[in-house]
């Protein structure tokens, strides 16, 4: 403990015995707290691989060699005490081009410490890292990744830019195998994500590096140091600062609300069609859909299950930055006819707000009911919230069912599609839509169809 030990663990003499001045009393900071990050807001295909703690020399050398082999630059949160004990390891990390940050001095439970000790745990760790490596840490992470207001205040007082947690944590401390660690990260890999691994407990993290590198390469994502990720990202505005955040509202006066069910657009003079995608999926699935659409120069409309969007707003923002429309497919994906008017409106409004905050702009004001089931009463309830145009569809191939092959999906699309059609597909994992999509687009183009967003197809006033 700092009260009785020096930085290097030795006994610290009293100020009057040593002839030195007593350390200045730490005054609680009353300025703005340091920024807190669990992920970075960005639509770029980037994320960070970060490590906590500092393993033994052999483990760390193997880890650094693996990172070099796969061209990965990572971020290491190092405890000051370990840097003091084995400075050559910390120097090697920095020399190989990795980012060195602050993991506190002794990795104590910061929630149980008074403010002055929190301050000193951070300060002394930064002092050691700076002395031994020449690097001044910008970011702080506690051992657990949790942080309190006191931690954020002390970090700000010390001029640190952010307190960093993580949103991709395979819990390697439970001694998972490399395959289990790699599989978990592959499943949850996301734009702007911060991966957390520990170097001091489970040596399997070293053998997981090739698997993590392969997963990133497969989806087309780049692993970059945290500082670069933060620099390339942005900060989200609060919901209430975004125009249109309250375009959907609870409205119990729904009995006379007018609504319109739109299945297709009739009377077109051109062969326009709308490609739409429902629900939600992983980055791996949705990014591949977005890549196919970009390669084919096709713009689509995505109806989002907002509960999924809430945990991965960057993916929704990537849709918008790709030139696509984003619309409302409910929050929890209920069969809307089974809900009370109050519960349904609450679900729709919550979805609207979640999507708005995710994409940082008002979504396209179309609502599509999950499963496509709707009745007159429900149509009025939905319209009263601010969604009078209910987006149905004409062409469906039941692609959500993995039993339907890519060939089945393409055949169904080609058989049903005519000028003005709205085509329904899904962005779920582990179905065959990704395989079918490029073939379907190619064949539709060969028949002379032009792809437009659904709002444009039906002439929705934006």
pLDDT average, residue stretch 302-315: 97
Per-residue pLDDT band at 59 (split at 50, 70, 90)? very high
Determine what percent of the chain is predicted with pLDDT higher than 70: 95
* pLDDT attached to residue 4: 31
Question: In the structure encoding, which two tokens stand for residue 331, read together?
Answer: 């929050």
Q: Check residue 25 and give its pLDDT.
A: 86
Indicate the range of 16-20, 27-31, 248-252 predicted with least confidence: 16-20
pLDDT band at 23 (very low <50, low <70, confident <90, very high): low
Please count the other Cβ atoms lying within 10 Å of the Cβ belonging to residue 241: 10
Averaged pLDDT, 112-126 = 96
User: Does the pLDDT value for residue 274 go beyond 70?
Assistant: yes
Helix/strand/coil for 99: strand
What is the DSSP code (8-state) at residue 52? Answer: E
Q: Is pLDDT of 7 > 70?
A: no
462: confidence class by pLDDT, cuts 50, 70, 90? confident
Lowest mean pLDDT among 19-23, 81-85, 161-165, 227-231: 19-23
State the pLDDT at residue 366. 98
At 198-217, the pLDDT tens digits run 999 999 999 999 999 999 99
The 3-state DSSP composition of the chain as helix, strand, coil percent (nearest 5) reads 40, 15, 40
Please report where in the chains the tokens 């619309």 appear, as a residue. Answer: 327
Residues 6+ apart with CB under 8 A from 220: 45, 287, 291
Q: For the purposes of burial, counting CB atoms within 10 Å of the CB of 322, is it exposed (0-12), middle (13-18) or buried (19 or more)?
A: middle
Q: Report strand pairing: 75-78 vs 99-102.
A: parallel
Domains with residue ranges and CATH for the chain? 29-232 (3.20.20.370), 239-458 (3.20.20.370)
What pairs with residue 261 in β-bridges? 390
Residue 20 has pLDDT above 90, yes or no: no
Encode pLDDT of 310-367 as tens digits: 999 999 999 999 999 999 999 999 999 999 999 999 999 999 999 999 999 999 999 9
CA dist., res. 347 & res. 361, Å (int): 19
pLDDT score of 12 more than 60: no
pLDDT reported for residue 310: 96
Q: What pLDDT is stored for residue 148 in this prediction?
A: 95
Q: Measure the CA–CA gap between 26 and 204, rounded to whole angstroms.
A: 41
What does pLDDT average to over the chain? Answer: 94
- Dihedral angle, C-alpha 10, 15, 20, 24, nearest 10 °: 100
Torsion of CA 101, 225, 68, 184, to 10 degrees: 100
Whether residue 460 has pLDDT greater than 80 = yes
**Structure tokens belonging to residue 444:** 């539709």
State residue 461's pLDDT score: 87
Query: What length is written for the chain?
Result: 462
pLDDT band at 108 (very low <50, low <70, confident <90, very high): very high
Q: Match 């670069």 to its residue by tokens.
A: 228
Residue with the bigger pLDDT between 10 and 385: it is: 385
Return the beta strands (E) in 5-113 as ranges: 35-37, 46-52, 75-78, 99-102
**Helices within 322-416 (DSSP H only):** 341-359, 376-384, 406-416
Residue 406 has what pLDDT?
Answer: 98
- For the stretch 151-168, pLDDT in tens is 999 999 999 999 999 999
pLDDT tens-digit readout, 413-440 = 999 999 999 999 999 999 999 999 999 9
Q: Tell me the pLDDT band of 5, cut-offs 50, 70 and 90.
A: very low
2 vs 205, more confident:
205
Higher pLDDT, 305 or 201: 305
pLDDT in the model for residue 363: 98
Q: What is the mean pLDDT of residues 236-246?
A: 97
What's the pLDDT score for residue 375?
Answer: 97
Strand duo 395-396 + 325-328: pairing: unpaired
In this predicted structure, the answer to whether residue 3 has a pLDDT above a threshold of 50 is no
């Amino acid at each position: 403990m700092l009260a009785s030990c020096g930085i290097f663990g030795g006994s610290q003499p009293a100020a009057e015995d040593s002839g030195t001045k007593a350390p200045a009393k730490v005054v609680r900071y009353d300025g703005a707290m340091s920024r807190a990050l669990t992920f970075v807001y960005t639509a770029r295909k980037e994320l960070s691989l970060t490590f906590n703690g500092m393993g033994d020399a052999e483990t760390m050398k193997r880890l650094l060699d693996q990172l070099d082999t796969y061209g990965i630059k990572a971020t290491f949160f190092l405890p000051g005490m370990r840097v003091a004990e084995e400075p050559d390891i910390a120097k090697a990390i920095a020399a190989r081009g990795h980012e060195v940050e602050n993991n506190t001095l002794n990795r104590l439970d910061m929630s149980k410490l008074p403010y002055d000790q929190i301050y000193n745990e951070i300060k002394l760790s930064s002092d050691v890292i700076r002395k031994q490596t020449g690097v001044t840490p910008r970011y702080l992470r506690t051992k657990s990744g949790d942080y309190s207001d006191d931690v954020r205040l002390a970090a700000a007082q010390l001029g640190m830019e952010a307190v960093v947690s993580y949103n991709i944590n395979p819990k390697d401390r439970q001694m998972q195998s490399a395959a289990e660690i790699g599989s978990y990260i592959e499943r949850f890999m996301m734009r702007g994500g911060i991966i957390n691994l520990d170097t001091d407990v489970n040596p399997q993290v070293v053998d997981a590096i090739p698997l993590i590198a392969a997963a990133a390469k497969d989806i087309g994502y780049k692993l970059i140091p945290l500082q670069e990720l933060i620099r390339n990202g942005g900060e989200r505005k609060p919901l209430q600062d975004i125009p249109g955040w309250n375009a959907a509202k609870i409205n119990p006066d729904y009995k006379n609300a007018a609504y319109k069910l739109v299945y297709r657009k009739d009377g077109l003079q051109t062969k326009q069609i709308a490609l739409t995608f429902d629900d939600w999926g992983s980055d791996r699935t949705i990014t591949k859909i977005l890549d196919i659409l970009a390669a084919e120069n096709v713009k689509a409309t995505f109806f989002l299950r907002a509960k999924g969007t809430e945990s991965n707003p960057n993916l929704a923002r990537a849709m918008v930055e790709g030139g696509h429309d984003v619309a409302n497919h409910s929050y929890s994906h209920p069969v809307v006819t089974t809900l009370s008017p109050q519960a349904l409106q609450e679900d729709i409004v919550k979805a609207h707000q979640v999507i708005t905050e995710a994409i940082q702009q008002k979504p396209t004001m179309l609502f599509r009911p999950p499963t496509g089931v709707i009745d007159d009463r429900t149509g009025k309830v939905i319209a009263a919230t601010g969604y009078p145009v209910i987006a149905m569809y004409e062409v469906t191939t039941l692609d959500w069912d993995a039993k339907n092959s890519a060939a089945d999906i393409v055949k169904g699309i080609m058989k049903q599609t005519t000028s003005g059609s709205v085509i329904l597909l899904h962005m779920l994992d582990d179905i065959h839509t990704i395989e079918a999509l490029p073939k379907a687009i190619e064949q539709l183009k060969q028949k002379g169809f032009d792809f437009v967003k659904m709002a444009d197809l039906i002439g929705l006033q934006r």
